[in-house]
Amino acid sequence: MSLSVDRIWKSYSTKRGVQSVLRGVDLEVRRGEFVSLIGHSGCGKSTLLNTFGGLSSVDGGRVTLDGDEITGPGPDRAMVFQNYSLLPRLSLAENVAVAVREARPDWSKQRVDDGVEKYLTAVGLWEQKDKKPSEVSGGMQQRAAVARAFAVEPTVLLADEPFGALDALTRSRLQDQLIKLWKSESDTEIVVMVTHGIDEAILLSDRIVVMGAPPNPSIIEIIEVDLPRPRDRVSIIDDQRYRAVQERMMYLLTTTPNEREKMPPKDTSVAPRQPVGAAG
Ligand SMILES: Nc1ncnc2c1ncn2[C@@H]1O[C@H](COP(=O)(O)OP(=O)(O)OP(=O)(O)O)[C@@H](O)[C@H]1O
């Protein structure tokens, strides 16, 4: 099982001309993997994520899940966005149930209700299930959005800066809940997440895709995060492998292709990584 893009191209036509966003991107995310997309604003992270979600079409290339071409959204891929996107008039439980009924019209009422309870409980919100989004905190709304995504029982979870609007403590808690849901409380096999956080990407991911805007290639490098799970957010930062990945990401995100040619890093042997375009 894998989620793949093969040689995909995507441009947008704007008043200033044609803007090339995805330039011949190859990426294969395998079963059991958590992959993060990181890069400067506007480099195409959300476009790539939306391509996996079937929300953004491509100009060329193939997007597939388990070999089947992705041509639109589907219940096998659920999305979580930064801004919660809950329906304001419905309770948290109704928000989850409505999404499940829409994505899985063939499921019985019992199955939908069981899922609502299971996933709202998993994110610690069962007690709050009858409240409207405006009656709970932003963190709770995002937990409900995560529960809603998992309740559809997708094969793939696609998350666009899911922790971006949260304070540090709420963010840590939801990161832990997301990992627990993915690893042990659901059948979801793949997570792809857009993030701006270097430390967040290292803590959560198996691989980190560092993306670039022109004149860089769309994928500058794919970095393996060879750290055992479960990961402890406090002790992990003392691990040499953590620091090596962190340094490599900083280097890639703060230099231009020209600078990298003229000034290679002192020691590139520490962070294991794959060359550009490596499919896995
Ligand atoms: N529908 C659209 N029409 C025109 N241009 C678009 C459209 N969607 C995105 N773009 C442009 O494509 C580029 C890539 O956008 P995208 O949102 O994928 O980047 P990003 O890396 O996710 O950025 P950010 O980190 O700021 O969210 C940007 O310059 C954006 O302005």
Mean pLDDT within 120-140:
97
User: What is the CA(21)–ligand 1 centre distance, in A?
Assistant: 8
**pLDDT on residue 273:** 53
Mean pLDDT within 93-100:
98
* Whether residue 37 has its Cβ less than 6 Å from ligand 1: no
In this prediction the ipTM stands at: 0.98
What is the pLDDT confidence band of residue 277, given thresholds at 50, 70 and 90? Answer: very low
Atom 31 of ligand 1, residue of closest alpha carbon: 42
Mean pLDDT within 120-149:
96
User: What is the CA(62)–ligand 1 centre distance, in A?
Assistant: 20
Q: Which domains does the chain show, CATH number per domain?
A: 2-76+155-274 (3.40.50.300), 87-153 (no CATH)
**pLDDT on residue 274:** 55
Residue 273: in which H helix or E strand, if any? Answer: strand 273-274
Tokens 């200033």: give the residue: 16
Looking at the predicted structure, is the pLDDT value of residue 269 above 70?
no
* Whether residue 14 has its Cβ less than 6 Å from ligand 1: yes
Which 3 state secondary structure label does DSSP give 168? Answer: helix
d(CA 200, CA 218): 21
What is the pLDDT confidence band of residue 264, given thresholds at 50, 70 and 90? Answer: confident
**pLDDT on residue 279:** 40
d(CA 251, CA 245): 10
**pLDDT on residue 267:** 58
User: What is the CA(171)–ligand 1 centre distance, in A?
Assistant: 25
d(CA 93, CA 174): 18
Pocket test for ligand 1, best of 20, 25, 45, 209 (most atoms within 8 A of CB): 45
Q: In degrees to the nearest 10, what's the CA dihedral of 6, 9, 10, 11?
A: 170
Looking at the predicted structure, is the pLDDT value of residue 124 above 90?
yes
**pLDDT on residue 215:** 87
* Whether residue 41 has its Cβ less than 6 Å from ligand 1: yes
Angle at 201 between CA 42 and CA 31, to 5 degrees: 100
pLDDT-above-70 percentage for the chain: 95
User: What is the CA(118)–ligand 1 centre distance, in A?
Assistant: 35
Q: Which tens digits make up the pLDDT trace of 157-167?
A: 999 999 998 99
* Whether residue 21 has its Cβ less than 6 Å from ligand 1: yes
Q: Which tens digits make up the pLDDT trace of 43-96?
A: 999 999 999 999 999 999 999 999 999 999 999 999 999 987 899 999 999 999
What is the pLDDT confidence band of residue 280, given thresholds at 50, 70 and 90? Answer: very low
pLDDT-above-90 percentage for the chain: 88
Pocket test for ligand 1, best of 9, 13, 47, 200 (most atoms within 8 A of CB): 47
Q: Which tens digits make up the pLDDT trace of 219-243?
A: 999 999 999 999 999 999 999 999 9
User: What is the CA(119)–ligand 1 centre distance, in A?
Assistant: 32
User: What is the CA(47)–ligand 1 centre distance, in A?
Assistant: 6
Tokens 């999305």: give the residue: 79
Amino acid code (one letter) for 191 = V
Looking at the predicted structure, is the pLDDT value of residue 137 above 80?
yes
